Structure 1
Amino acid sequence: MKLIKYLLLFVAVLPTMAQDFNTKKDNTLWNDFTYDIGNIFGGVGYAYSRPFHWQGNDWANFGYLTGGTLLLTTVDDEINHWTNGFQNDVPDFIMDYGHEYGSPENNYMLTGGVYLAGLFTKNEKLRRTGVLLIASATAGGFLQQVTKRIIGRARPKSGQSSATFDPFHFNRVYNYDSFPSGHAMLAFSNAYAIGKQFKSPWVKAGIYTVGLIPGFVRVVDDFHWFSDVAFSTVLSIFIVESIDRYLDSKYDEKYNNQEKNVSWNLSFGPGTMGVSLQF
């Protein structure tokens, strides 16, 4: 019950806080800081409010995400059995990285470090990147914490099948909090936001690969089903894109001029099905 109260309070004060902070003043360290804090809250509120403004294509993308996730749930148990076959072959440093990097405390150490570097060097581009990282992590992190309690999906570690649920708990129930994956969401939010700094597709691919490791590790180590991680990864893209669009109106420095949208293509053939995500 406390979680719901905090959620309602958080949503209620977001517009007020953003309005108070979100006015550009003289270019001093304190004014930059308060302006950026306002944009963090404003970005989170903007991301949460987007479903109220969705149109045809937006609802189609949401439908593809939902449908794709449901399709993946039909093979979750088989994928889990397959990954268990090579679990012990994954190097320890990969496993350690995957578990540690996606944790909230380490995530905020990284994102906070990026932001503070931009703040103290008066680099607006880096400041904006830090704001995007922090806002995306906050929006995604809070959302996944609430969703876990509502859905209550059993983790692979529980010994239950992927279709086992114990939903609607105000307090988090251990081993019944698999969907979605917080580690995957936070890690790929960072990777996707940082990848925006670069135009080279090879550099982007390298950054995205590093961002996918925590999700991979969580599947291999029986903390999550594959569909948990896939859904969380795609949702993190939507969140980052939404907040980045909001920040376009708040900062003069832009690190790319690409149109901020996400599109899907589905393809079907004899015995095959494909999903293409373009961003």
Structure 2
Amino acid sequence: MKSLKYFIILLVALPLTAQELQSEKEKTLWNDFTYDVGNIFGGVGHAYSRPFHWKGDDWANFGYLAGGTLLLFTVDDELNDWKNGFREDIPDFVIDYGHEYGSPENNYMLTGGVYLAGLFTKNEKLRRTGVLLISSATAGGFLQQVSKRIIGRARPKSGKNSDVYDPFHLNRVYNFDSFPSGHAMLAFSNAYAIAKQFRSPWVKAGIYTVGMIPGLVRVVDDFHWVSDVAFSTVLSIFIVESIDKYLDSKYNEKYNNQSKNVSWNLSFGPNTLGVSLQF
């Protein structure tokens, strides 16, 4: 009789225990999700607040970026004429990839998929990668949308020169929204963040090359000037690095213990100007 009593208690206790474990699992999943969402917004805010904390080297890097962009501004029209005729030599699948991959909807499908895979498999490193991808895309995407309306630079396809502007519009004015390049910024942000998972410089170089295709395609198809894409690509590196440093304090998983420093080297010589970006 006593054994029967223990057996009945066990039958009642097992479902209750299983229910508690399931609730605990669901609660943990929800906690991870809300924690990550907080870090996404925190990362965006951290990236935007960095200029208020810049020191000598940071301002120097910004100066290099601004100076390099201005230098390209002076030769944008010549570079645009020079690239004419390349369009027919590029395979259609590369053109399609360049236009589609850098679009916001496709970007968030990819970044969201990476994050959800990490969330449901309880892989913190993959979760952190997803958070880095989403927050970097959000920070860069919002910044470039606002900048387009303020700057109002003519696109090459408008038939105008690179120095023609129609600035300060609340609504987006098509053909006057060239600077900066959203496709280049989103695509290279993803490439740069994903490349952090790997040590091999060859793998990194391959990922960077794929990430640069959308920006180059947008130049070839007259949506952007070379300076638009160059500026957006370098700016995306700064945004990813800034947010990644912020996430170091939020997650235990690190990316191969890599140093998160961006440095520039300028070289001058007879009829030569060289700029090297190390990251």
**TM-score normalised by length of structure 2:** 0.90
Cα distance in 2, alignment partners of residues 95 and 41 from structure 1:
33
1:172 deviates by 0.7
Residue by residue, what CA displacement relative to the aligned partner does 1:222-260 show, whole Å, maximum 9, x if unpaired?
000000000000000000000000000000111221221
1:130 deviates by 0.1
Q: After TM superposition, which residue ranges in structure 1, 4 or more long, deviate above 4 angstroms?
A: none
Q: Structure 2, unaligned stretches of length 5 or more?
A: 1-25
Q: Say whether residues 1:229 and 2:229 are aligned partners.
A: yes
Q: Give the counterpart letter for 1:84 in structure 2.
A: N
- Partner SS for 2:48: helix
Cα distance in 1, alignment partners of residues 270 and 27 from structure 2:
61
- The answer for the alignment partner of 1:191 in structure 2 is 191
- The answer for the alignment partner of 1:268 in structure 2 is 268
- The answer for the alignment partner of 2:142 in structure 1 is 142
- The answer for the alignment partner of 1:70 in structure 2 is 70
Cα distance in 1, alignment partners of residues 156 and 102 from structure 2:
19
- Partner SS for 2:277: strand
- Tell which deviates more after alignment, 73-82 or 36-45: 73-82
Q: Give the counterpart letter for 2:243 in structure 1.
A: I
- Partner SS for 2:245: helix
- The answer for the alignment partner of 2:255 in structure 1 is 255
1:100 deviates by 0.0
- Partner SS for 1:169: coil
Residue by residue, what CA displacement relative to the aligned partner does 1:66-116 show, whole Å, maximum 9, x if unpaired?
000000111111111111121121110000000000000000000000000
Q: Give the counterpart letter for 1:152 in structure 2.
A: G
Residue by residue, what CA displacement relative to the aligned partner does 1:209-234 show, whole Å, maximum 9, x if unpaired?
00000000000000000000000000
| Matches for 1:27-66 after TM superposition, within 5 Å | 28-66=28-66
1:27 deviates by 7.3
- Partner SS for 1:274: strand
- Partner SS for 2:268: strand
**TM-score normalised by length of structure 1:** 0.90
Q: Give the counterpart letter for 1:154 in structure 2.
A: A
Q: Give the counterpart letter for 1:127 in structure 2.
A: R
Cα distance in 2, alignment partners of residues 92 and 74 from structure 1:
31
Q: Give the counterpart letter for 1:90 in structure 2.
A: I
Residue by residue, what CA displacement relative to the aligned partner does 1:151-184 show, whole Å, maximum 9, x if unpaired?
0000000000011111111111010000000000
Cα distance in 2, alignment partners of residues 127 and 104 from structure 1:
20
Cα distance in 1, alignment partners of residues 85 and 74 from structure 2:
19
Number of residue pairs aligned between Structure 1 and Structure 2: 254
Cα distance in 2, alignment partners of residues 141 and 205 from structure 1:
24
- The answer for the alignment partner of 1:180 in structure 2 is 180
CA RMSD of aligned residues (A): 0.9
- The answer for the alignment partner of 2:16 in structure 1 is none
- The answer for the alignment partner of 2:157 in structure 1 is 157
Q: Give the counterpart letter for 1:77 in structure 2.
A: D
- The answer for the alignment partner of 2:9 in structure 1 is none
Q: Give the counterpart letter for 1:228 in structure 2.
A: D
Cα distance in 2, alignment partners of residues 242 and 143 from structure 1:
15
Identity rate, percent: 86
- Partner SS for 2:273: strand
- The answer for the alignment partner of 2:200 in structure 1 is 200
Larger CA Rg, structure 1 vs 2? 2
- The answer for the alignment partner of 2:246 in structure 1 is 246
1:39 deviates by 0.2
- The answer for the alignment partner of 1:278 in structure 2 is 278
Q: Give the counterpart letter for 2:181 in structure 1.
A: S
Cα distance in 1, alignment partners of residues 58 and 94 from structure 2:
36
Cα distance in 2, alignment partners of residues 204 and 144 from structure 1:
25
1:45 deviates by 0.2
Q: Give the counterpart letter for 2:159 in structure 1.
A: G
- Partner SS for 1:28: helix
